[in-house]
Amino acid sequence: MATPLRIIIIIMLILIFLFIVAVFVVGQLLVSFSLKRHGYLADRFWQFESDDINTLEKGSPRYIIETNYQEAMEQRNEWLETAPSEALYMTSRDGLKLVGHIFPAKEPTHNWLVLVHGFRDIPVNILNYATEYVKRGYNIFYMEHRAHGDSEGRYIGMAYPEHYDLLDWLDIICKRDPEASIVLHGHSMGASTIMMACGETGFPSNVVCAIADCGFSSVKDEFKFNLKRMFHLPAFPFLYAANLVSIIETGLNFNDGDVIPYIKKSHTPTLFIHGDSDVFVPTDMVYKLYDAASCEKQLYVSIGAAHVDSRYIDPELYYSKVFDFIDKYRIPSHLSQIQE
């Protein structure tokens, strides 16, 4: 006959076992929610819709942002109607077929813009940033991240595998145009992808500067922040369980997604942009990145802008900051023209 102490121990062991199971179930759900391309949680939650401008107070930050966003979409779509383009394909280092797109400038040039989109974004939307570059005669290229658009992949890599993909795309562009003078411009996860790539040994000297808009400083801190904000859960033990599940299921270790060591090694001049009202990638991350960067750098914190809204809350100021920065480093256009 079991003693009361033995019964208590058995009950405690059962409770501990059930707790561990519950923690890993939550970890599995978090991985499915955040990293899986398709699934009940991912498909149900990650649906982005624009605000109805008629419901917004005129003159409010949201009204200004939505108005400028719609205008940017219209300009992009109008340009796309007649812009010649070429689809490119490559196989990633881990065997995924990835897609990219080139839009050549009207006049031959060595000036290139490489756009890198964000987490769960519709890839073509990153071309909202392209139209001002088109006016300045750039060739435009954008990549469709793994697990986005027409690129293969079941899981999003939160900038870590993507930064290797970006390096390979840059290699393709540089082989196509050995004299390419490249500007990198990315937002959210795309900005972190750029910053990690810039810190790699052998990063192409063709890249003259980078625009990093609303990038996170580390995957772990980004998940920790949003785990608390969205689900009111502590990092321990849930984030650790999710990381273990991620390593087993996707191959991504959250600890690999630390951007700080990469930006410390970068020699690529970088303009850091962030909104002061960002509640998805907290604004304090841009200060960590800026302080850690050893490259030539500049910081622009946009007043009243939430996540990736800086381009829309004041487009004129945004692009004046961007092109004032680029003009310090790019090859002058009269030297970059291809001689026929």
Give the model's pLDDT for residue 160: 98
Give the model's pLDDT for residue 61: 86
Q: How far apart are the C-alpha atoms of 214 and 222, rounded to whole Å?
A: 12
> Burial letters for 234-271: b for 16+ Cβ neighbours within 10 Å, e otherwise?
ebebbbebbbbbbeebbebebebbbbbebbebbebbbb
CB-based burial label for 88 (10 Å; 0-12, 13-18, 19+): middle
Phi-psi category of residue 182: left, alpha or beta, with phi > 0 → left and psi -120 to 50 → alpha: beta
Q: What angle is formed at CA 278 by the lines to CA 276 and CA 281, rounded to 5 degrees?
A: 125
Q: Report the share of the chain in percent with pLDDT over 90.
A: 80
Give the model's pLDDT for residue 169: 98
Q: What is the pLDDT of residues 8-58, one digit of tens each?
A: 888 888 887 777 877 888 889 899 999 999 877 777 777 766 667 767 788
Give the model's pLDDT for residue 337: 42
Q: The pTM is what?
A: 0.92
Q: How far apart are the C-alpha atoms of 283 and 273, rounded to whole Å?
A: 10
Question: Hey, where are the domains in the chain?
Answer: 1-34+219-255, 57-218+258-336
* Beta carbons of 219 and 195 less than 8 angstroms apart: no
List, in order, residues 6 or more apart from 107 with CB less than 8 Å away. 137, 337
Give the model's pLDDT for residue 25: 87
* Beta carbons of 170 and 182 less than 8 angstroms apart: yes
Could you say which residues of the chain have pLDDT below 70?
Answer: 1-2, 48-51, 54, 331-340
Q: What is the pLDDT of residues 299-334, one digit of tens each?
A: 999 999 999 999 999 999 999 999 999 999 976 543
Give the model's pLDDT for residue 12: 85
Give the model's pLDDT for residue 49: 66
Give the model's pLDDT for residue 22: 78
Q: Give the DSSP H/E element, type plus range, for residue 68.
A: helix 61-82
Give the model's pLDDT for residue 50: 67
Q: How far is CA 115 from the centre of its chain?
A: 10
Residue of 21, 14, 24, 15 lying closest to 238 (CA atoms)? 24
* Beta carbons of 301 and 309 less than 8 angstroms apart: no
Exposure of 179 in the CB half-sphere (CA atoms within 13 A): 11
Q: What is the DSSP letter of 272?
A: E
Give the model's pLDDT for residue 334: 39
Lookup: tokens for 328: 């310090």
Give the model's pLDDT for residue 338: 37
- Match domain 57-218+258-336 to its CATH number in 3.40.50.150, 3.40.50.1820, 2.60.40.420, 3.20.20.370: 3.40.50.1820
Residue 212, SS3? strand
